[in-house]
Amino acid sequence: MMAAFSVARSSSGLINGLRTSLKCFVPVKHGAVAAAAAAPQKKLLRDCRWYSAGHPSVKERIDKKRRAALVGGGQHRIDAQHKRGKLTARERVELLLDPDSFVETDMFVEHRCSDFGMEQDRNKFPGDSVVTGSGRINGRLVYVFSQDFTVFGGSLSGAHAQKICKIMDQAMTVGAPVIGLNDSGGARIQEGVESLAGYADIFLRNVMASGVVPQISMIMGPCAGGAVYSPALTDFTFMVKDTSYLFITGPDVVKSVTNEDVTQEQLGGAKTHTTVSGVAHHAFENDVDALLNLREFFNFLPLSNRDPAPIRECHDPSDRAVLSLDTIVPDESTKAYDMLDIIQSIVDERDFFEIMPNYAKNIVVGFARMNGRTIGIVGNQPKVASGCLDINSSVKGARFVRFCDAFNIPIITFVDVPGFLPGTAQEYGGIIRHGAKLLYAFAEATVPKITIITRKAYGGAYDVMSSKHLRGDVNYAWPTAEVAVMGAKGAVQIIFRGKENQAEAEAEYVEKFANPFPAAVRGFVDDIIEPSSTRKRICRDLEVLASKQQVNPWKKHANIPL
Amino acid sequence: MAAHWLSPSLNRLLFGLKNASFQYRCCAVHSKAQYSTVYNSSEKTFDKILIANRGEIACRVIKTCKKMGIQTVAVHSDVDSSAVHVKMADEALCVGPAPTSKSYLNMDAIMEAVRVTGAQAVHPGYGFLSENKEFAKRLAADGVAFIGPDTHAIQAMGDKIESKLIAKAAKVNTIPGYDGVVKTAEEAVKIAQEIGYPVMIKASAGGGGKGMRIAWNDEETREGFRFSSQEAASSFGDDRLLIEKYIDNPRHIEIQVLADKHGNALWLNERECSIQRRNQKVVEEAPSTFLDSVTRQAMGEQAVQLAKAVQYSSAGTVEFLVDSTKNFYFLEMNTRLQVEHPITECITGLDLVEQMIRVAKGYRLQHKQEDIPINGWAIESRVYAEDPYKSFGLPSIGRLSQYQEPVNLSNVRVDSGIQEGSDISIYYDPMISKLVTYGATRLEALSRMEEALDNYVIRGVTHNIPLLREIITHPRFISGDISTNFLPEVYPDGFKGHQLGKENCRELLASAAAIHITAQLRSQKVLGNLRVSSTPMECSNWEMCVELGDGCYSMEVTKSGNVYTVEVDGGVVEVKGEWNLASPLLPLTINGTQRMLQCLSRDSSGNIVLQYLGTSFKVRVLTKLAAALNSFMPEKIPEDTSSILRSPMPGTVVAVSVKPGDTVAEGQEICVIEAMKMQNSLTAVKQAKVKSVHCRQGETVGEGDLLVELE
């Protein structure tokens, strides 16, 4: 928590700047919101600093406060925000939501700090440093908070936290997702423990809402210290390239503690978190790109755990044969192919929203639609590390599977896995308990589960990947499937140890096991299907499984191996 | 080497039906090719033919064999094991690994395949072993028929020097040049000076533009000599070169001949193949707009004279250069079936493969010269997996993720050997297909070609349809004013895609906006009973901004039913369509004109790539609000490319001419990349010191791979 202070320190410097900025307070058009408060009010605004002057009526005071709220920290700060390549909190909300759908709450809330001169009027901003409310994305309800960097650097005051908690509480009772647009310097240092309490209040709600309504964090500026744990607790964390940072402690503290020289970008930029740490699920080019993509992403999600996966109107025929799949798996079992090719050609309109595309690339996860219905896809990626399961890919897969299960999204699993990755790095890193997470996630999931074995399904990894034994509803094999304990070479070395003609033994093993029959005759796969018919089969199965009912035994909560 | 096609793969075992349906589809590809001659089934030819080739030509030959009731054997390399020609054939054998020298040029393996399968004849297609006298000889020794001319004709015509002498003797017009083999660069320079510049240096054993260079001065002669001999050695295993006068601004017109083993020979009219890039044909047509019947007859008769002089049998092609005053010169004779043979088939009604098979069996020609008609007009576009924006076409590779031939249109023939899901690899020719259209008149054939190109769906590889469509709609091409220099003359700064006029630009912008809005509206259509009701926006007009290139156009869009009315850039565009967001083809009616657009990609941040008039255009559609806010977004600075040399195409590094620390001058060669048998010299764009070299000789590199960094 130490770090929060160090980061937020910079925001106290902002107060001085604000004095001047408020004086020359002239509304400048910055999109339609500002337009609402345009020119005619100019006269009123000139003396808005002194609320008591001339005893204005209540109505006038309401108008004045509303207008003040709309410009946040003032035009200077807005310009500075734009100069950084960032949009303001309100511009972001406006772009994210359907036109005119935003209903704001707590526009009049102000911070309650009375220390360090904070009680003065010029340090009070209607709405404080966050904009909250509800609105619609493509007609569907959503709750939003958007931190306002122009007010005290978006720092979190007690009032700021209270505003966020209020909409989260309502989102839970109504059953609608919460989107947080994070752009905050950290804790409001002037408020001390009040601010820390505010964080905890939010954390608690993040946890309570987890699995009840989808929670999405879009990091659009700094987010440091204790603040990072709110995004970390939400279902998805997205970042904006070059302008957003997530870290526990900034580069200065890192330098003083561990003597490492590191830039903000290296330490906690979008690239770091989407490729190295796995903290963020996607990075976008800039604010506009991020918000437009967020709208698209939102379309995939149900509003809450009480709702089924949404079904959108679909133009792609559900019985479309995908001829290219008949030749996609190479003849040589050692040769790679791109699992994304399979996924894209099977789903509706080749539209696949990949989650964590640059992290643990040996597993592919993401959302798509089949005949209009949202589905979650998990697939081994033979192109990267032969599609093996290792620590990172297991954790990536497990978290995704659990999200889908929590929100009634059917899971389609494409299997081409040679096994778990061997080696000391993996064993010391705890592949056993991390691999168990993926196993656990698939096993406990009660949503419709459809599995397609495209090629290798070896060893324990076969069991893990949504196998029949883990209550897979429909398990298919392509003719190229090989379900076995291990590859031919390894198996032969054990079974036929010391035998002269290893090649012959290998051929025998291949003939026996390197095909879908051993699994099919035991009913471990339900059918061997022509690859080109995969789309048709899945669409049909999803239709049937839509009414699937399955309940796990009562428990306080399960104990996943964390 | 020739492992017999091991046990029917599991695939086949499980889905006996699959192949049946597949073959049906393959047949459909050719169903539009109409041959006027009816196949005489009582005429017995061969029971089984092996096709020593791959790709479209193997499929083409198999097609006729099926018609004639002949069993077919395909050979393939290991990477081709699931290729279309393999699936079409009755039997298939693997003849080696991917490199052609180890598979399709591997005579031992192919001879073994012939023996194992008991094939009675071999059709060599074009390229590979089609003009290899050694192969023909070995087949003859084994008593297997070679579907092509006799060995001595292959030998005589295959050697450019000898063929010229024979042509001269047969009173065929020839080009002035040096009738001997050139051994050194200095000798080349001396001869070139004697003939007078410009000269052409070419491989004695070559063809198809490979190992061929034009030189305008001594320096270029030396360089050309070096490249040509290297290319000749790698392509033909024979580095002998010859030099001749280069005819400026010529047309390339060739005569198809057909001869039997009884001394009969016919000329089947001409094909004009003047549209070329780097001496390789791109667009061909039959007949030529340039020839009158007198010239045609003169050329035809000389071609037949030559064929008779070498006792030619089977189908062959005599290539001529024709200058602006209709003087024609013998260039070479190709003793095989040509790539562009379908256009001759279209206008004459003959099935050339069928005739070749008959002749190989020893039958006499069925036709007399006066029976050979010119019915209508046929155009062929060679659709290649290559990037036309780089020197009119540098090879590209990839997987055909989506592929749909425009065979639903009438008077369209597509000869291809690939299908959706096929890989275009670095090992073989990057041709995707030959798109042939025909009609009663040239104009008819051309407009059908335009339509066919617009309806052709190719995704996953870069292709040359933008260039093809520009060529066939260019006023110079339409008027028939063409030569082999057409491309460099029309596009002196390189091909840049279709240049949009104001009207077309508006159409493109309006279509893009309409698609974007359609997709946005669709996002609101959530089906089923909803616990929390949805409140879709009731809206039928929008203010949008569309970015195209450096321009940003604001527009007002109104929707009524299926029709979008767009006010943009001072004009009004009405766009009507079905608006199917899943279909790759997007048939629209724009201001009353039918247009076939293709939506290549579309994402949620408004980026749309549309193929319009053949060229793909990248646009970004934003609401007015989003566009206003987007202006605050910083420009991302692209990488400085002048100091970085990246591979423009996938291929093999043949030579690296620099090492770190060297100073290179602007234009100096840095390294040479070979792709699809073409050597490409990569040069420095500025004078600089070499910082680091990231490639080695013999290494395989992908497109965009970093080769050399300059300081």
Q: Does the pLDDT at position B219 exceed 70?
A: yes
Q: What is the mean pLDDT of chain A?
A: 89
Q: How far is CA A413 from CA A366, B117, B246, B521, B671, in A?
A: 11, 43, 63, 31, 46
Beta pairing, strands A363-370 & A373-380: antiparallel
Is B70 within 8 Å of B48 (Cβ atoms)? yes
Considering the domain architecture, whether residues B361 and B414 belong to the same structural domain is answered as no
Decide if B496 is inside a domain. no
Distance (Å, whole) CA A203 – CA A164: 11
Q: Does the pLDDT at position A527 exceed 60?
A: yes
Distance (Å, whole) CA B451 – CA B442: 14
Lowest mean pLDDT among B127-136, B591-600, B696-705: B696-705
Considering the domain architecture, whether residues B160 and B301 belong to the same structural domain is answered as yes
B152, containing H or E segment: helix B151-158
Please tell me the predicted confidence (pLDDT) of residue B556. 96
Considering the domain architecture, whether residues B164 and B266 belong to the same structural domain is answered as yes
Lowest mean pLDDT among A358-362, B108-112, B426-430: B426-430
State mean pLDDT over A252-278. 94
Is B455 within 8 Å of B596 (Cβ atoms)? yes
Q: What is the mean pLDDT of chain B?
A: 88
Considering the domain architecture, whether residues B278 and B158 belong to the same structural domain is answered as yes
CB contact under 8 A, B82 and A32: no
CB atoms within 10 A of CB A448: 25
Considering the domain architecture, whether residues B61 and B122 belong to the same structural domain is answered as yes
Bridge partners (DSSP) listed for residue B182: B241
- CATH code, domain carrying B649: 2.40.50.100
Distance (Å, whole) CA B374 – CA B372: 7
Q: Does the pLDDT at position A10 exceed 70?
A: no
Considering the domain architecture, whether residues B300 and B397 belong to the same structural domain is answered as no
Residues of A in contact with B425 (CB under 8 A): none
CB contact under 8 A, A326 and B18: yes
Is A401 within 8 Å of A409 (Cβ atoms)? no
Q: What is the pTM of this model?
A: 0.84
pLDDT confidence band for B18 (50 / 70 / 90): very low
- CATH code, domain carrying B611: 3.30.700.30
Phi, psi of A166 (to 5 degrees): -60, -45
Please tell me the predicted confidence (pLDDT) of residue A52. 54
Considering the domain architecture, whether residues B263 and B371 belong to the same structural domain is answered as yes
State mean pLDDT over A433-440. 97
Considering the domain architecture, whether residues B513 and B604 belong to the same structural domain is answered as yes
What does the angle CA B291 – CA B297 – CA B302 come to, to the nearest 5 degrees?
A: 110
CB atoms within 10 A of CB A334: 9
Q: What is the torsional sign of CA A416, A422, A428, A433?
A: positive
Distance (Å, whole) CA B684 – CA B642: 8
Q: CA A438 from chain center: how many Å?
A: 18
Decide if B636 is inside a domain. no
Report which of B135, B56, B319 is spatially closest to residue B212, judged by C-alpha positions.
B319
pLDDT confidence band for B395 (50 / 70 / 90): confident
Decide if B40 is inside a domain. no
Decide if B598 is inside a domain. yes
Q: CA B132 from chain center: how many Å?
A: 23
- CATH code, domain carrying B97: 3.40.50.20
Q: Does the pLDDT at position B13 exceed 80?
A: no
From the list B336, B442, B469, B620, the catalytic residue is B336
Burial track B156-192 (b if 16+ CB lie within 10 A, e otherwise): bbbbbeebbebbeebebebbebbeeebeebebbbebb
B:164-183 residues touching chain A, CB 8 A cutoff: none
* B619-652 pLDDT per residue, tens: 999 999 999 999 999 887 776 667 788 887 777 8
Give the residue from B191, B210, B245 where a domain finishes.
B245
Which stretch, A13-22, B1-10, B500-509, has highest mean pLDDT? Answer: B500-509
Please tell me the predicted confidence (pLDDT) of residue B594. 94
| Residues contacting residue B346 through CB under 8 Å, at least 6 positions apart | B33, B286, B375, B376, B378, B413, B436, B438
ipTM exceeding the 0.85 mark: yes
CB contact under 8 A, B18 and A307: no
Distance (Å, whole) CA B358 – CA A69: 90
CA distance A322 to chain B (A): 9
State mean pLDDT over B61-76. 96
Nearest CB among A288, A304, A317 relative to B626 is that of A288
Decide if B20 is inside a domain. no
Please tell me the predicted confidence (pLDDT) of residue B34. 62
Give the residue from B322, B345, B375 where a domain finishes.
B375
* B514-532 pLDDT per residue, tens: 999 999 999 999 998 889 9
No. of helices (H) and no. of strands (E), chain A: 22, 18
Please tell me the predicted confidence (pLDDT) of residue A300. 97
* A198-232 pLDDT per residue, tens: 999 999 999 999 999 999 999 999 998 889 999 99
Distance (Å, whole) CA A285 – CA A291: 10
Q: Does B420 touch chain A (CB under 8 A)?
A: yes
Please tell me the predicted confidence (pLDDT) of residue B369. 94
Distance (Å, whole) CA B566 – CA B553: 12
Total structural domains in chain B? 6
| Residues contacting residue B595 through CB under 8 Å, at least 6 positions apart | B454, B507, B511, B587, B588, B589, B612
Decide if B627 is inside a domain. yes
Bridge partners (DSSP) listed for residue A360: none
CB contact under 8 A, A323 and B419: yes
Please tell me the predicted confidence (pLDDT) of residue A8. 40
State mean pLDDT over B314-338. 92
State mean pLDDT over A361-377. 97
Q: Does the pLDDT at position A109 exceed 80?
A: yes
Nearest residue of chain B to residue A291 (CA atoms)? B605
Residues of A in contact with B532 (CB under 8 A): 140-141, 174-176, 303, 307
Instruction: Please tell me which residue, A52 or B5, carries the higher pLDDT value.
Output: A52
Considering the domain architecture, whether residues B163 and B302 belong to the same structural domain is answered as yes
Q: Does the pLDDT at position A331 exceed 50?
A: yes
pLDDT confidence band for B261 (50 / 70 / 90): very high
DSSP string across A142-191: EEEEEE-TTTGGG-B-HHHHHHHHHHHHHHHHHT--EEEEE---SB-GGG
Q: Does the pLDDT at position A41 exceed 50?
A: no
Considering the domain architecture, whether residues B142 and B159 belong to the same structural domain is answered as no
* B484-509 pLDDT per residue, tens: 889 999 999 999 999 999 999 999 99
Report which of B414, A347, B594, B383 is spatially closest to residue B586, judged by C-alpha positions.
B594
Instruction: Please tell me which residue, B538 or A81, carries the higher pLDDT value.
Output: A81
Decide if B19 is inside a domain. no
Which domain range does residue B367 map to?
150-175+249-375
Beta pairing, strands A527-528 & A474-477: parallel
State mean pLDDT over B32-58. 84
Considering the domain architecture, whether residues B291 and B384 belong to the same structural domain is answered as no
Q: Does B20 touch chain A (CB under 8 A)?
A: no
Q: Does the pLDDT at position A36 exceed 50?
A: no
* A373-387 pLDDT per residue, tens: 999 999 999 988 889
Distance (Å, whole) CA B331 – CA B253: 10
Instruction: Tell me the count of A-B CB pairs closer than 8 A.
Output: 142
Is B545 within 8 Å of B623 (Cβ atoms)? yes
Report which of A299, A35, A139, A135 is spatially closest to residue B539, judged by C-alpha positions.
A139
Does residue B240 carry a catalytic annotation? no
Q: Does the pLDDT at position B10 exceed 70?
A: no
**Coil, strand, or helix at residue B224?**
helix
Percentage of chain A beyond pLDDT 90 is 76
CB contact under 8 A, B525 and A310: no
Q: Does B101 touch chain A (CB under 8 A)?
A: no
What residues of A act catalytically? 225-226, 460-461
Q: Does B624 touch chain A (CB under 8 A)?
A: no
Please tell me the predicted confidence (pLDDT) of residue B16. 38
Please tell me the predicted confidence (pLDDT) of residue B179. 67
Decide if B23 is inside a domain. no
- CATH code, domain carrying B387: 3.30.470.20
Nearest CB among A31, A299, A326 relative to B629 is that of A31
B:502-561 residues touching chain A, CB 8 A cutoff: 520, 522-528, 530-532, 534-537
Please tell me the predicted confidence (pLDDT) of residue B426. 83
Is B274 within 8 Å of B252 (Cβ atoms)? yes
Radius of gyration for chain A, computed over Cα atoms and rounded to the nearest angstrom: 27
Distance (Å, whole) CA A454 – CA A475: 11
CB atoms within 10 A of CB A321: 17
pLDDT confidence band for A244 (50 / 70 / 90): very high
Is A373 within 8 Å of A416 (Cβ atoms)? no
Phi, psi of B122 (to 5 degrees): -125, 130
Considering the domain architecture, whether residues B219 and B128 belong to the same structural domain is answered as no
Q: Does the pLDDT at position A44 exceed 60?
A: no
State mean pLDDT over A184-189. 90
Give the residue from B434, B469, B491 where a domain finishes.
B491
Q: Does the pLDDT at position B341 exceed 90?
A: yes
Structure-block tokens of residue B18 = 């699959």
